[in-house]
Structure 1
């Protein structure tokens, strides 16, 4: 029996906008008890972190800065309604090269193929794609990543009927979207989690819940927690579980403030 794609499956829970989801969990956050081992200064830092995240969720702007340095590429990547495959392919490419370079690859390939529609991508064979990667030196590992790129195109074609937007179709949970992204070679848990966080936070993709979106425990985020002496170990995984403990409704929301806290503008907003 053929597995149903998300659009074909009947959703059991209605999707929520972030505003609706936040309205539901906000009362639960008021008066909540923090871990007993946090002192007053640490609690204040966590409150600031949550406030930064909630302010970001309340912004009207829709879209993300992929830092490609190319206005045309940014426009295509931000149009996930018409070109959702570019977003997924960018996630596949985000491996051992600067993120800005990875996000530029899908549109560079599209230019070589004559257009950004999925039809242009799906009509390209593996050999031609390999030649594009090799001649353009698109990635640090051109052969391997060309194969991943081609595999992603085939998966979008066969499982999602050419519409990558079905990966986060209405009725999807955050856990479900992460799981579907993990099917793609080249996308591990870190990138899958990052992708769903971008979709929810920046593009306001409707999900039934947001609790599986974890904080990104990279070095810049870790510095916030180290500076405030909140970590008991040197294990990055501790940051993930601390964020889940502090804000279980949407742990990934906390990486907004943790990422930006060293910026002068962010410092000026702290109480």
Structure 2
């Protein structure tokens, strides 16, 4: 008889969870791994999983030995990657493309006839500021400063190689750390190289026939150069073999700017989508902004067409999903839960709350706040906001009872105008612009609730939507009012229709850090202004 999930040993559940995460992520956090295990088997407690994860991680001295060995490699504080033969692996015969000939004292990179580097990679250094800062400013050794000055003049764009964080954009804010790649094990360096190479390929789409210049120590170059060469890139390292002092001198000799200075990604000039006119009347929209909007709408509509005839899926849990579709109060609670945790977990939470309370009756919840608090907080907690969330849920129940006769469906009954419905929703504690805009669109789009004047819908000020609007330059700055106004100008018939495709793209391809531009539906029209969204 085949074992059920709950019969499986912890190591097997952890391995299954890691494989699931690895399908969509190059690396994952300990919390994500535990969440995935608990999704497979809700009875598993985090404290029981911690030692097993330790035992499955290479180069650790704690935790019981695992029957599956050590398939996890730590690639940062609390972050892991899964050893998988299907991922990038160095070719046994491939060697880093690292020239052994030293540059002459009078040589200058990018001389006439020499191909300018498409991408430059700068290795991190030990000397750092004592406070968080953008990566380009965090490292303060003379060598790093000269490396950075050189590549900002000579390369079309550059990234920084961090022993702790992998491949990072120059604008990414990092806290000081002590990890040094040279001090790590061979397994760590191998996994780190695979991680960095994969992130670079995701960010650039492909690296075949691209010139990549590495300005870093041997341990960095040897970890990534074979992988990039195998992928078809032309890898070069102009200072291979030079001692520290000669490297400083060489960079110093390159201080004269080239006749036509390429700018680093961080300093590329940005175009204005359209300034906010004092009268409220929009200026003409850039043609490429129109193309981006058209691509967003096409992707959103195609996604909806593919789902036509099937119930909306808010969470993989079938019974929880059915509850959302059939109980308006459960829908309202899911909207309130949808903050600070994954969407799938938030939209399952009303079902889990009903299981713990034995009901989902607004009147009883309003009268029994302590029971609601205990149900939310008991392990595993339904939400990380174990103090605020129960108060918001009880307050929502009280409003539903007092103002809507105990029927949450009356909130959107009677074909309300979109703007009026958003205002009603914002009357519930825990629901602000982001959640109200999201809820109105879901009700109209997925639940086919009759709503008038959809021109009054808005995008949600959600981190994924914000990131896409900034990197595509649809928005000029990360500001709620500005982004909402931009969406209204770009798609006045229904501004909120831009929300869902932008959210999907931000979650699937345009994530924080290095985006996966190669598969993004906007790849042919997006200006890829990565420096615009370093804080989201």
Q: TM-score range by the shorter chain?
A: 0.7 to 0.9
Q: For 1:133, which of 376, 386, 396 is the aligned residue?
A: 376
Partner of 1:17: none
Q: TM-score, normalization: structure 1? A: 0.73
Note the residue ranges of structure 2 that are not aligned, 5 or more in a row. Answer: 1-281, 510-515, 526-536
Question: Which structure 1 segments of 5+ residues have no match?
Answer: 1-33
Looking at structure 2, the residues matched to 219 and 121 of structure 1 have their Cα atoms a distance apart, in angstroms, of 35
Q: Residue 184 of structure 1 aligns with which residue?
A: 428
Does the 8 A contact of 2:425 with 2:436 survive in 1? Answer: yes
The alpha carbon displacement at 1:49 in A equals: 2.2
Match of residue 259 from structure 1: 503
**C-alpha separation in 2, matches of 1:91 and 1:109:** 14
Contact 1:211 1:249 in 2 (8 A): yes
The Cα of 1:57 is off from its aligned counterpart by 6.1
Find the partner of 1:48 among 283, 295, 299: 295
Decide whether aligned partners of structure 1 residues 161 and 35 sit closer, same or farther in structure 2, where only a CA change above 3 A counts. same
Q: Could you tell me the TM-score, scaled by structure 2's length?
A: 0.39
Taking CA–CA contacts closer than 8 Å with sequence separation of 6 or more, which of the two structures ends up with the larger relative contact order? 1
Structure 1 window deviating more from structure 2 (204-213 vs 251-260): it is: 251-260
1:71 aligns with 2:318: yes
Q: Residues 61, 240 of structure 1: CA spacing in aligned structure 2 closer, same or farther, 3 A cutoff?
A: farther
Question: For 1:159-174, what aligned pairs fall within 5 Å after superposition?
Answer: 159-174=403-418
Relative to structure 2, which stretch is displaced further, 48-57 or 211-220?
48-57
**Distance in 1, Cα, partners of 2:480 & 2:453:** 25
Contact 2:418–2:457 (Cα < 8 Å) also in 1: yes
The residue number in structure 1 matching 2:63 is none
What SS class does the counterpart of residue 197 from structure 1 fall into? helix
CA 1:217–1:125: 2 relative to 1, 3 Å: closer
SS at match of 1:142: coil
**1:100 Cα shift?**
2.6
Aligned residues: 231
| Structure 1 partner of 2:332 | 88
> Which of 231, 241, 245 is the aligned partner of 2:485?
241
Aligned twin of 1:29: none
Distance in 2 between residues matched to 1:36 and 1:185, nearest whole Å: 39
1:36 to 2:284 alignment: yes
Asked whether the equivalents of residues 421 and 440 of structure 2 are also in contact (C-alpha less than 8 Å), the reply is: yes
- 1:148 alignment partner, one of 374, 389, 392: 392
Distance 1:259 1:96, change over 3 A: closer
Deviation at 1:202, TM superposition (A): 0.9
* In structure 1, distance between residues paired with 2:467 and 2:362: 44
Where does residue 15 of structure 2 map in the other structure?
none
Alpha-carbon separation, structure 1, partners of 2:375 and 2:318: 22
Query: Do the aligned partners of 1:160 and 1:167 also contact (CA within 8 Å) in 2?
Result: yes
CA distance in 2, matches of 1:240, 1:104: 29
CA–CA separation in structure 1 for the residues paired with 2:378 and 2:447: 34
CA shift in 2, pair 1:35/1:104, >3 Å: same
Distance 1:37 1:133 in 2: 47
Q: Helix, strand or coil: the match of 2:320?
A: helix
Residues 1:269 and 1:55: Cα distance change in structure 2 (over 3 Å): farther
CA distance in 2, matches of 1:96, 1:167: 25
Spell out, residue by residue over 1:75-97, the C-alpha distance to the aligned partner (whole angstroms, 9 max, x if none): 11122xxx100010112222333
Matched residue, 2:349: 105
Take 2:471 and 2:366, find their aligned partners in 1: how far apart are those partners? Answer: 51
Partner of 1:5: none
Q: Give the strand-richer structure, 1 or 2.
A: 2
